[in-house]
């Protein structure tokens, strides 16, 4: 199957996903966790029957925990969120919940730390994008015809923005309907996805670079051949990685759900963009230059 000649279909599909993602972000935003907003989070497992959320709130009422949120997870797990608190209050909460309750995780972050994490996360993403442009521009510096080497880097970045926006849009939906939060683990997953996606794009671009000097086809034909030569490898790699992530998502604990889900969505979208978006964009750019 020829891929590049059908680029209008891929562009339309990508455009639809991006519009839906941006709409989700505008209307719902991201459900930021305590890593960014500040506060405390307590993850619990009950040995027998899990109490109702109202019962837990009543038991903890005299502690006057501001902004207390109680969220059941799975069959016996529960997550409590409230304002930043000290260790003494933390122990009082555990005492009131009763013996036998297992504390899986407790985090407490101040507002100033949360704001600093936001800033550093933003800088980390920007630094990664700049590094990717520089690397691809250098790696393809000897490929100047018919598309300049720096255009490979810009095309890869466009594909990365496409991937990142869709991942954020998916998590805006998950946050709105399932309470999935954005934390520092999500940022780590997003950076991993950017690296995975650009690696996939470079594999395709590298095959284009190898084929260009010897191909008797025009630029579009050479790219289509190169993409079809690498598409099986990319899909197989994505499929095997996704199977592992799905297994972890199903069998793993609630604490890593957001991280694994971000990796899974990002890898699937990254594989799609490296095949059906990045390379067709090169062809489109070349055609616009020729006009």
CA proximity to 220, closest of 281, 136, 169? 281
Asked if residues 228 and 158 have their Cβ atoms less than 8 Å apart, the reply is: no
Give percent helix, percent strand, percent coil of the chain, each to the nearest 5.
Answer: 70, 10, 20
Q: Where in the chain is CATH 3.30.70.3400?
A: 40-108
pLDDT at 273: 93
As annotated, the residues of the chain forming the CATH 1.20.1640.10 domain(s) are 4-34+112-290
- Considering the four listed CATH numbers 3.40.50.300, 1.10.3720.10, 1.10.1040.10, 1.20.1640.10, the one that applies to the domain covering 4-34+112-290 is 1.20.1640.10
How distant, in Å, are the alpha carbons of 2, 36, 109, 182 from that of 114?
48, 4, 7, 12
Task: Give the predicted TM-score (pTM) of the model.
Answer: 0.83
The Cα–Cα gap between 184 and 247 comes to 22
Stretches where the chain sits below pLDDT 70 are 110-114, 140-145, 253-254, 290-291
Phi, psi of 102 (to 5 degrees): -100, 125
Instruction: Choose among 9, 10, 12, 22: nearest CA to 161.
Output: 22
Q: For the stretch 20-40, what's the b/e string if a residue is b when 16 or more beta carbons lie within 10 angstroms of its beta carbon?
A: bbeebbeebebbbbbbbbbbb
Answer yes or no: CATH 3.50.50.60 is held by domain 40-108. Answer: no
3-class SS of residue 74: coil
Both tokens assigned to 288 = 């616009």
């Amino acid at each position: 199957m020829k891929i590049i000649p059908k680029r209008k279909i891929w562009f339309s599909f990508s455009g639809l996903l991006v519009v839906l993602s941006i709409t989700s972000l505008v209307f719902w935003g991201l459900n930021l966790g305590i890593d960014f907003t500040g506060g405390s989070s307590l993850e619990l497992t009950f040995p027998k029957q899990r109490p109702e959320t109202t019962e837990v709130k009543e038991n903890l009422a005299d502690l006057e925990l501001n902004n207390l949120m109680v969220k059941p997870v799975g069959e016996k797990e529960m997550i409590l969120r409230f304002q930043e608190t000290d260790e003494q209050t933390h122990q009082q909460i555990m005492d009131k919940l009763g013996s036998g309750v297992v504390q899986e995780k407790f985090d407490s972050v101040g507002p100033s730390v949360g704001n600093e994490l936001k800033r550093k996360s933003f800088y980390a993403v920007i630094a990664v994008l700049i590094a990717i442009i520089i690397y691809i521009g250098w790696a393809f510096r000897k490929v100047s015809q018919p598309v300049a080497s720096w255009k490979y880097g810009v095309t890869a970045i466009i594909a990365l923005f496409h991937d990142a926006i869709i991942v954020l849009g998916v998590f805006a939906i998950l946050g709105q309907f399932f309470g999935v939060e954005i934390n520092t683990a999500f940022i780590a997953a997003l950076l991993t996805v950017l690296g995975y996606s650009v690696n996939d794009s470079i594999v395709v671009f590298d095959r284009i670079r190898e084929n260009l000097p010897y191909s008797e086809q025009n630029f579009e034909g050479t790219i289509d051949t190169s993409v079809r030569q690498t598409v099986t490898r990319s899909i197989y790699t994505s499929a095997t990685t996704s199977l592992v992530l799905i297994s972890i998502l199903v069998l793993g604990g609630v604490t890593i759900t957001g991280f694994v889900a971000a990796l899974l969505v990002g890898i699937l979208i990254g594989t799609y963009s490296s095949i059906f978006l990045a390379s067709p964009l090169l062809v489109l750019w070349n055609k616009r230059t020729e006009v």
